[in-house]
Every structure is written in C-alpha cells, then in structure tokens.
Amino acid sequence: MTDRKPDRITILSGFSLPFTITSTVFSRSVIMIIPMPAEYLDQLYTEIGLLFLISLFLLILFLCTVIRFHTKKKAFSEHDSQIRKLNEQLQTLASERDQLRSEANDYQNQIRQMDLKIQEYEDQFKLQDIQRQEYIDRHSIISSDVYNSPSKYYYFTKSCMNANESLMYYYINYILKEILPASEFSNYYIFPQVSIYSFIKVHSSLEQDESEYASRNYWAKSIDFVICYCHKADRQYLYTPVLLMELDGSSHFSSAKYGTKTFRRQQENDRFKDSLFSDLDIPLIRFQIPDNHLTRKDLPRLRQLLSEYFPRQSQNK
C-alpha cells in the first residue's frame, strides 16, 4: 500500500460501496419471495455473504486509509512547523553570526589602532630617551664648562640693585638720617634684596613633609629692603629686622608687560608675604609705583610712611 493521499473518487467510491451491496441484498431478498430451488438459494446466500465480507473489508480498508491520511497530515503539519522553527533559528543564528563578525571586525580595527598608538608611544619614548641622553651629555659639558670658564656664562653688572632700587635705598637712608638722632641713626642698617630664609626659619617640630613644603614655599623669596636695628648681646652684634619694605612696580598691578602667568605668580608671592609678616607681627610697607618710575616727587610720601614707624624720633627731631 502506498503513502499517497486518497483522491476524491476513491473516497466517494468507498461511501457508495455499502449502498451498492445493500441494494443487491434487497434485490436478492425480493427474488427470495419467489419460490426457487434449494440449490439456487444456497448459491445466492453464499454470494451475499461474500459480497458482505468484501464490502466490510473495503470499508475497513477505507477507514484505515482515512485515518492514515489524517495521521500523515498531522505529521506533515508538525514537520512543516518544525521546519519553519528551524528556518527561524537559522535566520537568528545567521543574524547573530553577522553581528559577531561585525563586532570582531570592530575589535580588530580597535586592536590595529591600539597597535598604532603603542607604536607611536614607543617612538616617542625612544625620542625622549635620545633627547634625555643628549640633555645629559650637554648638561655634563655645560656643568664642566661653568666651572672651567665661568666668564662664558656670567658677567658683572657693577651694581647689586636696579635704578629704582638704588634710588629707593638712597631715599630711605636720607629720610632715616633726617628723622633720627645721630646716635640712633648709627644703629640702623638698610639691607637690600634680603632672602626671607635668612631671618625666618621653619619650626623643627613639624613633620618632614610639612617642613619640606614650608621650606620650598619661601626658599627663593626675598624682601627688597630690610631695616635692621643693630645691638650687642652675648658678645655679638645682632641685626634685628624692624621694618620691611617692598617696591611694587607695574608687575604687581597688571599682566600687560610680563604676561598672565607671571602676574599670577607675583600676586601669590605678595599674598604669602603679607600673610606671613602680619602673622609674625613684622611691619611690611608696600611702596607702590604703578608707572614703574621712582622720582623725587615720591620722597614726601615715603617720608610720611617712615615717620609713622619712627614717631618718637620724628617728634624729638
């Protein structure tokens, strides 16, 4: 028996077969009303039985065919559904595969870019090593040359102060001599460009990192003029700072000439000095010359400022 689906003619034939047998049996029964010989009736009954068995067999065969058809149809439907699911899964896997390939390509591109950057960094490191070695070699030569031929790098300015500082020093000395008695004036000394480190020290009780930071913060800073009082104590002469003076030129008020970076650094230095000497109770005078030129016209203003710190001597005068 084949697996092909039964066509419409076969199905109709299967339904019409029982009616054919029934009509045949009915016709035979009608005939039986008519008196017939016994031999003929036996033959007739035999034929009817055979026809009934054949029709029953065909009916069973038909039912089996229909059941098998429906079973196959359901199996085919499930098979088609599985095939569709497999196709969907294949499409999903294909999409994921394409996405993974795209991500792999992106990673490869990133790796290539990182390799290029690493190569650039290696080239930069090599160049820095070369430059550092050149600097070390040149520094060694310069360091040796500075000691062997110092005049190649330094020259003598013939003055330890610039024009404004020299004139300021003269004015301070002139005014102190004017307002102080001669006996007192001989005890006062004016020192220009004094390092703060020479008369301000860092507490030894500080932690190491605090001490290092505090030292670095004022190590290279200086005061333009320090007026000291000289007196003898314990068989030695002490020069005690009594008044500090700063000559503030244009760099203290504007960044136009020296730039923003220098101006900010100058402001930070000024704030540090003001805070330091105010906290230590050491008077600091800032004599301002915004035009960067000190003249004789500034002498009265300077005399008034100094007289405020030497009032008794000024009144006695």
* Residue 22, φ and ψ in degrees, nearest 5: -60, -45
Q: What average pLDDT does the structure give for the chain? A: 82
Q: Indicate the SS3 state at residue 242.
A: strand
Each residue's pLDDT tens digit, 169-221: 999 999 999 999 988 999 999 999 999 999 999 998 988 888 888 888 888 89
What tokens does 212 get?
Answer: 């290092």
Tell me: the pLDDT tens digits for 27-73?
555 445 555 566 766 777 787 778 888 888 888 888 888 888 778 77
pTM (whole model) above 0.85 = no
130-142 pLDDT, tens digit each: 888 888 777 777 7
* 169 in Cβ contact with 190 (< 8 Å): yes
How many angstroms from the chain centroid is the CA of residue 261? 26
What the block records as the tokens of 103 is: 């991500």
Check residue 74 and give its pLDDT: 76
pLDDT at 3: 47
3-state secondary structure of 17: helix
Residues 6+ apart with CB under 8 A from 285: 243, 244, 245, 246, 305, 306, 309
> Which pLDDT belongs to residue 20?
55
Query: Domain segments of the chain: what residues?
Result: 1-126, 163-316
CB atoms < 10 A from the CB of 294, how many? 20
The alpha carbon of 225 is separated from its chain's Cα centroid by a whole number of angstroms, namely 48
Largest CA distance in the chain: 187
**C-alpha distance from residue 110 to each of 63, 104, 122, 203 (Å):** 69, 10, 18, 56
